[in-house]
Copies of this chain bind each other. A is one copy, B any other.
Amino acid sequence: MSEETRLERGLRTRARIFGEEGEERRQAFAEASPAFAQFVTESVYGDLYARDGIDDKTRETVILSVLCAQGRDREFGYHAKAALRIGMTKEEIQEIILICAIYAGAPNAVGATDESLRVFKEFGV
């Protein structure tokens, strides 16, 4: 019986976290840069997301915090959806942003809040 490759594992993980929307983004992305798309699918989703030492919720907590600190509002929105999908609550996302407001500066937290408001409405939470 053949073992799952890094690529296969990455695609499977990606689907679990981002759903259909993620697959559409991945395809547009692969068109823009096949090598980068491969790196992300294999090294990020295939290797890192498969590690035992960290659970899905903690990983998304790290990612949301970094995205807020970088002021990447749009990507914060993508991962706010991912966070809700893997079981994080609206309240937990709000608490993460609140801590970020102090450490990453209020403007970055404001951007993340605006983006999360859109996501909360889309998910009806």
Contact = CB atoms under 8 A, between A and B. Distances in A.
Interface of A: 28-29, 31-33, 35-36, 39-40, 43-44, 47-48, 51, 53-54, 58-59, 61-63, 65-72, 74-75, 91-92, 94-111, 113-114, 116-117, 120
Given A43-B43, A61-B65, 19 more contacts: A35-B51, A36-B97, A36-B98, A39-B43, A63-B65, A63-B99, A65-B69, A66-B99, A66-B100, A66-B104, A69-B70, A69-B105, A71-B71, A72-B111, A74-B111, A75-B107, A103-B105, A103-B107, A105-B108
Contacts of A107: 66-67, 70, 72, 75, 103
A41 to B, nearest CB: 12
Contact of A66 (B28, B65, B110, B114): B65
Nearest to A59: B99
21 contacts: A29-B110, A31-B117, A32-B113, A32-B114, A35-B53, A36-B97, A39-B48, A39-B98, A44-B106, A51-B95, A54-B99, A58-B92, A59-B99, A61-B65, A63-B103, A66-B66, A70-B71, A70-B104, A74-B111, A102-B105, A102-B106
